[in-house]
Structure formats: C-alpha cells, structure tokens
A and B are shown apart, each in its own frame.
Chain A
Amino acid sequence: MSATGTATPRVTATRASGAQRTHKRLNHYRFAPLVLILVNVVLFAAFFAWPAIIGLVYSFTDYTGVGSFHFIGLSNYQQLFGDSAFYAALGRTVLFTLIVVPTSFVFSLLVANLMVSQYAKGKLVARIIFFVPWLISPIVSGVIWRWLFGENFGLVNFVIESLGGSAVPWQSNADLSLMVVVIAATWGGTAFSMLLFIAAIKNVPVSYYEAAALDGAGPWQLFRNITLPSIAPTSFIVILLTTLNAMKEYALFQSLNNGGPGTSNNLLVQYIYQTGFQQGQIGYASAASFVLMIILMAIAIIQLTVNRRTERRR
C-alpha cells in the first residue's frame, strides 16, 4: 500500500518529465534548424522564388519597367517565336554549346589524365599553369584572346604572315570569330572540369588497373575500358555544367567580339539584355528568359534521364 503510494507518483513524475523533455527537444530541433536556414530562406524567397513568379506574370504583360501594365496574353511569346533575331540568337547559342562542350570535355579529360599519370614530370608547375586561366574573368579572358587574335595587330596573324600566309579575318568573319570564343571558353573552363575529373580518376581502385595490366592491356585500353566507365557519373556532371554555362555565356562574347561582327554572334542572354534593358521591354524580355529557362531545364532533365538509364543498364 505504502509502496504503491510512493511508487505511483514517481512513475508519473518521470513519465511527465520524459514527455516534457521529448516535447522540448522536438521544439529545439525545429527551432535550431529554422534559425540556421533563416537567412537563406529569406534570400531564396526574395531573389529566386519571387522573381521567378513575377517573371512569369510579366511575360504575359506589356510591362516596360515603369508605370502600369496590361495583360496581353500570349502575344509576347507569339512575337518572340516570330522574331528572326531570336532564332538567330538561339541557333548561335546552340551551335556554340555544341562545339564548346565536346572540346572542353576532351581537353579537360586529357589534362586530368596527364595530371594523375605517374610518368608525367613537372606536374606541380603545370598545375598552376592550367589553373590560372580559370582565375581570370571572362571579360579579361576575352581581352587576352582579342589581343592574340587581333586582325591587324595580333600575334597569331603576325606569325601566319611571317610564315608566308595571308591574314586570317578572326574578327570580321562570324564563324572564325565564334571559333576564337570557343578556344577562349575552353581555355578558361578546363581547370574546373579537370579538378572534377582528377578527383574521379583518383577514386578508381588501383587494383582494376593492376589486374588489367597483368592481362596485357595497354594505356589506351586501360583508359578506354577502365577509366572512362568508372568516371561516367563525373563525366555526366561535367557535361551538364559546361552545357549550362555555355548556354548562358555573355561576358566572354562582350569583350572578345561584342557579339559581332554586326549581330552575328549575339547569344540568347545578350538578346534578353538588349530587349529588356536597352529597349525597355521587360515583359518581352521575361518571356525570352522563360524560354531560356525551359531550355536549360529540358537539358538538365534529358541528361538526368539518359544518365539514369545508362547507369541502370550497367
């Protein structure tokens, strides 16, 4: 009697305090993470979610940035898809991406392989040389390559002429001009992709190579049959990132050829910038932005699906 009398309140007491503690702890666990993410939640809402929403809304209006606006339905999109300048910019962007992505991929993978090769000498110094272009801004990269490929004053044409050739129109020919941008973009983008590739190659178990070497595989076969399949997920990331970056390239073109000659190398972002900010058609530029966003998302989704499928097959 007395035993139960003393026992019962103790049990309820512990139970109560236990419940209180779990309750308190849960509160804690909601409160602490909330405090920690608060800043980024606010920033996300203000500079990503809200602009995305008003961007979508404005794309159906004739907003010019000031004053009132009217909903005009799909006419921005109709105008956009009827604008030959838009198609020209889109086509040029796709062409640039299709050239720069494989070029950049090949060079960064090649450099990464050399950087992990035990036979290559002087890697420490070479690493710095490969890395410096990545530090340089697209604007300054553009200046560097413009200086090298100047039509009348550039070193490249000087060398070509000294060797008996005739000056190549690097600036006034639209396609050659695009090629120079491709070279500059590859030059600047190699280091970052290389870093990803180096990490991936170092993660491939050495025993794979040893086993294959025992079977008499040469360096090319080792690369083709072991390295390449093992780093497939990284290759996917690299291709995705370089594609997205190429699709939104702007600054490099600005300083290298100013989207020229004429308007022949205007890319999508430049088209958006010109219509939105130089001509003040915010609504129209929002529509163009939305099309670009849908293209970027489509690229990401397609690459994700392809990547999933190939991974499942293995």
Chain B
Amino acid sequence: MTASVADPRIDRAADARPTQPRADRSHRRGGKNGARQLGRAIAPTTLLWVLAFAYGFPLLWFVLSSFKPAGDLFSFPLSLLPKSWTVQGYIDAWNSFTFYEFFGNTFLVAIVTTILTVVASCCTGYALAKYDNLWLKIFFVCILATTMLPTEVMLAPTFLVVRDLGMYNSLAGIIVPSILTATGVLMFRAFFLTVPDELVEAARIDGARELSIFFRIMVPISRPIMLTLAIFSFQWRWNDYIWPLLVLNDPSKFTLQIGIQSIVGAQNINWSVLLGASVISIVPLVLLYLVFQKYVMNANINAGLKD
C-alpha cells in the first residue's frame, strides 16, 4: 500500500511482468521499500535535529552558565560545562533584592488573573455561542475590536483610568484590566459552537433553568478548554512586562519581569545573579508546560482566533 503510493514506477514495472512469481516480487518490493524508507528518513530527521539543536542551544548554554561560579563566567577560553558546579548564583539571586517577594507577587497575579479570566471567558463565550440577539452580536464585534486595541496602544489613557479607579501601585491594577481577553472568549465561543443545541433544548424541556444549564452541563464539559486557556493565561500574566512596569511603583510589589529587567538595566550587570534569577523565573512555566503539554498541543487556538 505505502509502496505503491510512494513509488508508482515499481508498481508499473511489476505489472508489466505478470509472469514473475508473487513471493519474489513482494520480497523485492519490501526490501527496496525498507531502504527507501530509511533514505527518506535521513534528510527530514537531520534537518529536524539541526533545527532543534539551534533552538535548544541558547537556553542550554544559558542554564549551564548559571551553574558556573561568578569568577568563571568570563574566564577564557569559555567552556560548555562548568568546571565546578555551583548554585551560588541562584542563592545570590534569591537573597538579593526581595526576589522571593517578586516571585510571590507574580505567582499571585498570574493565579488570580487566570482564574478570573477563565470564568469570565467561559461565561461570555457560552453566551455568544448559544444565544442570539442584537446586543450579543454588537458585543461580539466589541470583543473582536479589542484584538486591535492591545495594551501597548492605549498605555496612557488606560493608565489614567486605572489611576482614577484607585488601583495605581496595587496588584489589583494589573489583575483587573487583564481579565478580558479576546482570545479566551473566542476559544470558548468556538468550543460551545461545536456543542449541539439539542443538548440545551433537552435540558430546557426537562425544566432546567438557563443558568443552571450553563453551570451544571456546559461548565463541566468545557474543562479541556478551561485548562488550555488557564495555561495560556498563566503564561501571559507571568511574562507581562510593560503594564506592571507602569502600574507598580513600590519595589515590594514588583513582579519577576520587572525585577529581572532592573538587574539588566543596572550600570554594571551582575551576570551571576541575572543568570540565576532568569532561570528561576523560567522554571514554573516549564514545569506547567511539561505537566499539561497535551492541553497546549491540542489547543484549537486556530479556531478561536479565526472567527
């Protein structure tokens, strides 16, 4: 089957000699096929791993460097592996500034925002998918419009709004404005569009109230989307930089990204601390990704972003 698809010439040649014994023919085909398979695998596999190396190496080099003693970081010739392994950079990073505070703040913001984003997006996505009236249509267009209004475009006016609401220099100031995300709403809308309307109708006939249909039936079946959005949202909020930078003024409220940038922005960069701090900031996301990989890889973000 694969052989005939892979190379029609063999097939035709074989058909031209119908007298040839069957066993012989299939044997020859199989042998050639195996070699061909191997030959075909070499080029893509090599290319894949060259690229994987190129993508993986910068981080590998970075992580290995973070285990070098501060004095060895700049000693030529550079070596890939540390001559003596140390975690001093990590200890220094953790103890310098108020790094554990940055870490805690970032964690708090990412978790709270993620929960709120998932709840709000789920509700809105369901309403947009399963109800139909003019106001919902208008609101859907509004949601689409927010993709054209990223934070960066409205820095000044949004900052004034947050300040006037009394959220300047508080974690609420970075949580509340980030709850509404078009991607989240569109992901849930796309998912609920695939849920048959009959399910809702049947529940209505059974006398269920609209909101309890949503909470008892729809919320539980949307769990995979919730996890997917939760991972995305956690990653977005963990990595946010410009908005926390604007809203937060008090170093005890800083998030990790601002903390790291403050090390980079210093006159003389303390690379040992910087390497340690950066690696620490990556670890939670990598763990999260490794645990929930399939929710990220199977994410139908395409459907969510398309309509």
* A residues at B contact (CB < 8 Å): 28-37, 39-41, 43-44, 46-52, 54-55, 58, 65, 107, 110-111, 114-115, 117, 119-123, 125-133, 135-140, 142-148, 152-153, 155, 158, 162, 187, 190, 195-196, 199-200, 210, 213-214, 216, 233-234, 237, 241, 244, 248, 250-251, 254-255, 258, 269, 272-273, 276-277, 282, 285-286, 289, 292-293, 296-297, 300
Contact = CB atoms under 8 A, between A and B. Distances in A.
Max count, chain B CB within 10 A of own CB: residue among A41, A47, A110? A47
24 contacts: A32-B214, A37-B127, A37-B128, A40-B179, A43-B177, A43-B179, A43-B180, A121-B45, A127-B297, A128-B290, A130-B52, A131-B296, A135-B286, A137-B241, A138-B239, A139-B260, A140-B282, A155-B61, A190-B55, A258-B265, A273-B155, A273-B242, A285-B156, A296-B153
A244 B150 contact: yes
Contacts of B159: 277
A33 B239 contact: no
Contacts of A234: 302
A101 B293 CA distance: 27
Contacts of A36: 123-124, 126-127, 211, 214
Contact of A65 (B49, B77, B160): B160
B195 interface: no
A111 B133 CA distance: 43
Interface of B: 5-6, 8-9, 37, 40-41, 43-45, 47-49, 51-52, 55-56, 58-59, 61-62, 65, 73-74, 76-78, 119-121, 123-124, 126-128, 131, 133, 135-136, 139, 142-143, 145-146, 148-150, 152-161, 165, 176-177, 179-180, 185, 209-211, 214, 235, 238-239, 241-242, 246, 257, 260-261, 264-265, 271, 274-275, 278, 281-282, 285-286, 289-290, 293, 296-297, 299-302, 305-306
B180 A289 contact: no
Contact of B302 (A34, A40, A200): A200
A162 B76 CA distance: 11
Contacts of A111: 51
A34 B74 CA distance: 61
B13 to A, nearest CB: 14
Contacts of A286: 156-157
B152 A248 contact: yes
Given A147-B275, A273-B242, 14 more contacts: A39-B124, A44-B139, A47-B158, A54-B157, A128-B293, A129-B52, A130-B51, A131-B289, A135-B235, A147-B62, A147-B271, A233-B306, A293-B148, A293-B153
A131 B65 CA distance: 21
Contact of A289 (B6, B121, B156, B275): B156
A41 B51 contact: no
Contacts of A250: 152, 241-242
A296 B145 CA distance: 12
A276 B156 contact: yes
A196 B306 CA distance: 11
Given A214-B5, A255-B260, A114 B47 contact: yes
Contacts of B136: 33, 37
A153 B274 CA distance: 15
3 closest A-B pairs by CB: A137-B239, A55-B157, A32-B210
B241 A139 contact: yes
Given A111-B51, A300-B148, A47 B139 contact: no
Nearest to B259: A139
Contacts of B179: 39-40, 43
B212 to A, nearest CB: 10
Contacts of B49: 122, 126
B307 to A, nearest CB: 11
Given A36-B127, A137-B238, A269-B152, A148 B58 contact: yes
Contact of A237 (B41, B155, B306): B306
A86 B157 CA distance: 20
Contacts of B153: 248, 289, 292-293, 296
